[in-house]
Amino acid sequence: MSLPARRLRAMLVKETWQILRDPSTILIAFVLPVILILIFGYALNLDTGRTRIGISQQDGGEAAVSLAGAFRQSPWFDVVATGDVPHLKDQLVAGTIRGIVAIPQDFSRQATRGGGAIEVITDGSQPNNAAFVASYAEGVRQNWAAARSARPAAAPPLDLTLRYWFNPGSISRYFLVPGAIAIVMTMIGSLLTALVLAREWERGTMEAIMATPLGMGELLVSKVVPYYVLGLGAMVTCTVVSLVLFGVPFRGTVLALLAISSCYLFCALGQGLMISALSRSQYVASQIALLAAFLPSLLLSGFIYEISSAPVWVQWVTRIVPARYLIPSLQTVFLAGDDWGLFLPDMGMMLLFGAVFFGITLAKTKRRVA
Site for another protein in 154-173 (CB under 8 A): 154-168, 170-172
Q: CB of residue 356 vs another protein: minimum separation in angstroms? A: 21
Closer residue to another protein in complex, CB, 1/94? 94
89 binds another protein (CB under 8 A): yes
Among positions 278-307, residues that touch another protein (CB under 8 A) are 279, 281-284, 286-288, 290-291, 294-295, 299-300, 304-306
* Edge-to-edge strand list for the sheet holding 77-82: 77-82, 51-57, 99-103
Tell me 309's DSSP state: G
Report d(CA 74, CA 7) in Å as an integer: 70
The distance from CA 169 to its chain's CA centroid, rounded to whole angstroms, is: 19
User: Closest Cα to residue 320, out of 352, 276, 343, 290?
Assistant: 352
Q: CB of residue 271 vs another protein: minimum separation in angstroms? A: 16
Residue from the set 137, 248, 277, 293 that interacts with another protein by CB under 8 A? 137
Tell me 154's DSSP state: P
Residue from the set 130, 234, 259, 267 that interacts with another protein by CB under 8 A? 130
Q: Buried b / exposed e across 84-110, counting CB within 10 Å, b at 16+? A: eeeebbebbeeeebbbbbbbbeebbeb
* 101 HSE (CA, 13 A, CB side): 31
16 binds another protein (CB under 8 A): no
Among positions 19-58, residues that touch another protein (CB under 8 A) are 22, 24-25, 27-28, 32, 35-36, 39-40, 42-49, 51-52
Among positions 240-279, residues that touch another protein (CB under 8 A) are 279
* Total of chain residues touching another protein, rule CB under 8 A: 115
Q: How many residues does the chain have?
A: 370
Closer residue to another protein in complex, CB, 8/235? 235
Residue from the set 129, 214, 216, 352 that interacts with another protein by CB under 8 A? 129
93 binds another protein (CB under 8 A): yes
Report d(CA 312, CA 148) in Å as an integer: 50
Q: Buried b / exposed e across 300-317, counting CB within 10 Å, b at 16+? A: bbbbeeebeeeeeeeeee
Tell me if residue 280 falls in helix, strand or coil.
coil
Residue from the set 5, 13, 117, 344 that interacts with another protein by CB under 8 A? 117
Residue from the set 11, 53, 55, 98 that interacts with another protein by CB under 8 A? 98
